[in-house]
Amino acid sequence: MDASSVTVLIASPLEPRYVERIKQVSLRLDVLYEPELLGTPRYAADHDIVPQRTPTQEAAMRSMLARAEVMFDFERTHLHDLLTVAPRLRWVQSTSSGVGELLRRHGLCDTDLIVTNAAGIHAIPLTEFCLMVMLMAVKRAKHSQWLQQQRHWERFHSTTLHGKTLGIVGLGAIGRHLAHQARTLGMTVHGVKATLPTDDLPAQYSVDYLWHDAQLAEVLPLLDFVVACLPLIPQTVHRFGPAEFALMKPSAYFINIGRGQTVNELALIDALHRQCIAGAALDVVAHEPLAPDSPLWALPNVLISPHSAATVDTENERLTELFCDNLQRYLTGQPLRNVIDKQRGY
């Protein structure tokens, strides 16, 4: 790149201190940020707002889009015509890890647009969510809550995570971090990958055993906990269905922190009703928000998290660190971190 200025549009809400941090990356940056055009965040690190704008505000946003070469996050009201309203756009830093389906839906896969995702940013909170679910299961937290509600004192036994077996289906940054933490608690961890080159070793992924996705049927009967952290691509739609739930132990728990469409929900509901598995924790569902009449709400052996397990008050800080590092790389012609293969979807 030459020494000309680079226009950066911050397209979703960000705290002023992080905006300033981005501006400090280089004097070459012309950073555009108009928070009144982006809507009001509902919670910390809210990047899913679709704002309502006046005609004057819409004209102002279009003016900024027309100038942008780089964007922090996708502008939610112009996903369908992004490269038309932003013809100079070369790179978007997403605030999400899973944006493959968004790119396919809006015809961005067969373009020259560079998209980097937030892989790794959510590994810590999602790992903590999985550990919470597993600890609640082995420590019988719901039973303790029921006894407390009944004002009834009765001793009971529980068990430990130490010695239990965890299967992680999808070994990206989140899966690897979860594997590492689970092993420190004495769990045996099986990792399942879609591709398994001959030089892949379990230690590379912090797991005890490494399996190819085609071997999932062999792995499932061994597991006390199954965590799905799969991207949504054609090959992963309904990856977990009647056959997979039938293979799991009746005492096993299923946790989905990836994408809801990777699970056949009717099959999951049936397995839970018939107690083919002990329970499930779902941070994602096939159609969000989850319909009020969904049976999942009322099942006593299900924990619903409204796609919130990854959203923490430190998210924007970590996103800004990633973006600033990538900005430095962009300005100096170095490879960017977390570039998405748009054809593969992740």
Catalytic center residues: 259, 288, 307
C-alpha to C-alpha distance for 254 and 285, rounded to whole angstroms: 13
Contacts of 277 by beta carbon, 8 Å cutoff, 6+ apart:
245, 248, 249, 250, 252, 253, 254, 271
Number of neighbours of residue 255 by Cβ within 10 angstroms: 27
C-alpha to C-alpha distance for 166 and 224, rounded to whole angstroms: 6
CB 305 within 8 A of CB 298: no
Number of neighbours of residue 149 by Cβ within 10 angstroms: 8
C-alpha to C-alpha distance for 155 and 158, rounded to whole angstroms: 10
Give me the residue label for tokens 């996050």.
Answer: 73
CB 219 within 8 A of CB 192: yes
CB 311 within 8 A of CB 125: yes
* Alpha helices per DSSP H over 153-264: 173-184, 216-219, 242-247
Q: Which of 48, 79, 52 is nearest to 65 (CA)?
A: 79
C-alpha to C-alpha distance for 290 and 37, rounded to whole angstroms: 28
Q: Is the dihedral of CA 81, 284, 192, 172 positive or negative?
A: positive
